[in-house]
């Protein structure tokens, strides 16, 4: 059973973490031995060879660059133009991966079906990873009209905000509705057919976005607020509303979103017992709210600025996502429903969106 992962920050890791993702994971970790500039140095879990080993054949791969105003304490770029240039550098890395046969961009239904056939047939070990380009946080889009340029580059999904206040919407740990040009951005997304990724939208911006956007939407990497209370997660009411809109929600593996009480820098997988079974708990909760397994998937975020120190304790690399298959079967899910969760729901979502 192959896997569709709806959220990986591959280019960020390659460019800002300076990781050669074409190399074996052991080599990447060894080159980071002794480095302390990032808290996950030597503990990364994602490389392209590990994705192939785990049959993670298609992913939604991001560009990400936050603009920060002078009063914003979050890390980021000091102008939207710098943020745009950073995303263009990330795009250049994806293009280099395509040219070297490591990855292949999926832009439409035909490209999707080709990659699905490849992985369903049992792809050989050197098969390029299929990726759908997404933008996490819209700060780098200089104006809503500039979005067309990004679409021509292959951008097919967009989350208007990330952490904190964004130029178009308010994100995690902030409050408030869409920013002045937020509705115009959503209108342009609808015209182009770009998927709205509601992950990271604060409650106010989420409500307003759902009111003003009529196109396809998903939550690429989000878990359940009823299991781990935090504004980064979705409430049951929000989950129901997303399901009514036909969304698929990707379960995320960042440990602090899996179990309550996680304290960064103190809690560890060893002293907390966090494990892949907790990922199943969140995905199962979405299935129970939905009444079926048609709206759940995987959005691992395993390279989202954390590594083994903040991952399920029984996961060493992204290849271990395959362990989820038996965990779902043991939980009583049919193999057909497990197949939907591991790849089918996001694939069918794209078939409808690109139909």
Question: Three-class SS string for the chain?
Answer: CCEEEEEECHHHHHHHCCCCCCCCHHHHHHHCCCCCCCCCCCCCCCCHHHHHHCCEEEEEEEECCCECCCCCCCCCECCHHHHHHHHHHHHHHHHHHHHCCCEEECCCHHHHHHHHHHHHCCCCCCCCEEEEEEEECCCCCCCHHHHHHHHHCCEEEEECCCECECCCCECECCCCCCCCCHHHHHHHHHHHCCEEECCCCCHHHHHHHHHHCCCCEEECCCCECCCCCCCCCECHHHHHHHHHCCCCEEECCCHHHCCCCCCCCCCCHHHHCCCHHHHHHHHHHHHHHHCCCCCEEECCCCCCCCCHHHCCCCCCCHHHHHHHHHHHHHCCCCHHHHHHHHHHHHHHHHHHHCC
pLDDT at 325 over 90: yes
Among 244, 239, 82, 231, CA closest to 170: 231
Would you tell me how many other CB atoms lie within 10 Å of the CB of residue 72? 16
pLDDT (mean) for 170-181: 97
Residue 265: what pLDDT?
87
Among 38, 43, 48, 95, CA closest to 269: 43
Residue 92 near residue 19 (C-beta atoms within 8 A)? no
Cβ within 8 Å of residue 20, ≥6 positions away = 14, 27, 28, 31
Residue 101: φ, ψ to 5°: 80, 15
CA–CA separation, 159 and 166 (whole Å)? 11
* Superfamily for domain range 3-353: Metal-dependent hydrolases (3.20.20.140)
pLDDT (mean) for 315-335: 98
pLDDT (mean) for 121-150: 96
pLDDT in tens, 208-253: 999 999 999 999 999 999 999 999 999 999 999 999 999 999 999 9
Task: Provide the token pair at 162.
Answer: 């990330």
pLDDT in tens, 247-295: 999 999 999 999 999 998 899 999 999 999 999 999 999 999 999 999 9
Would you tell me how many other CB atoms lie within 10 Å of the CB of residue 314? 13
pLDDT in tens, 49-80: 999 999 999 999 999 999 999 999 999 999 99
- The pLDDT mean for the chain works out to 97
CA–CA separation, 262 and 272 (whole Å)? 8
pTM across the whole model: 0.98
Residue 116 near residue 347 (C-beta atoms within 8 A)? yes
CA–CA separation, 344 and 309 (whole Å)? 30
pLDDT at 184 over 90: yes
CA angle, corner 109, sides to 105 and 114, nearest 5?
A: 65
Residue 340: what pLDDT?
98
Residue 15: what pLDDT?
98
Q: Strand 56-63 vs strand 129-136: parallel, antiparallel, or unpaired?
A: parallel
């Amino acid at each position: 059973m192959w896997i569709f992962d709806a959220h990986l920050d591959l280019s960020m890791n390659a460019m800002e973490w300076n990781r050669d993702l074409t190399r074996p994971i052991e080599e990447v970790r060894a080159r980071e031995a002794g480095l302390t500039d990032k808290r996950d140095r030597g503990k990364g879990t994602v490389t392209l060879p590990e994705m192939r080993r785990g049959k993670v054949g298609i992913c939604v791969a991001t560009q990400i660059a936050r603009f920060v105003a002078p009063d914003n304490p979050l890390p980021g770029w000091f102008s939207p133009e710098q943020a745009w240039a950073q995303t263009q550098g990330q795009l250049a890395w994806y293009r280099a991966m395509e040219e070297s046969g490591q990855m292949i961009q999926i832009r439409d239904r035909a490209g999707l079906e080709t990659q699905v056939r490849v992985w369903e047939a049992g792809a050989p070990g050197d098969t390029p990873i299929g990726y759908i380009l997404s933008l996490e946080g819209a700060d780098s889009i200089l104006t809503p009209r500039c979005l067309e340029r990004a679409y021509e580059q292959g951008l097919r999904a967009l989350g208007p905000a990330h952490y904190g206040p964004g130029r178009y919407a308010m994100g995690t740990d902030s409050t408030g509705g869409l920013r002045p040009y937020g509705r115009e951005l959503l209108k342009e997304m609808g015209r182009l057919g770009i998927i709205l990724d509601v992950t990271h939208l604060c409650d106010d911006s989420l409500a307003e976005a759902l009111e003003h956007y009529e196109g396809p939407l998903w939550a690429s990497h989000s878990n359940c607020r009823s299991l781990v209370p935090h504004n980064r997660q979705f409430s049951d009411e929000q989950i129901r509303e997303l399901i009514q809109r036909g969304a698929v929600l990707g379960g995320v593996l960042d440990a602090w979103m899996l179990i309550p009480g996680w304290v960064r820098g103190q809690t560890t997988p060893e002293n907390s017992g966090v494990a892949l079974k907790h990922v199943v708990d969140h995905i199962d909760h979405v299935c129970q709210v939905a009444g079926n397994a048609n709206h759940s998937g995987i959005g691992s975020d395993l390279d989202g600025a954390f590594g083994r120190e903040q991952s399920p304790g029984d996961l060493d690399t992204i290849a271990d996502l395959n362990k989820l298959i038996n965990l779902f079967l043991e939980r009583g899910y049919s193999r057909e429903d497990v197949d939907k969760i591991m790849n089918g729901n996001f694939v069918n979502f794209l078939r409808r969106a690109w139909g």
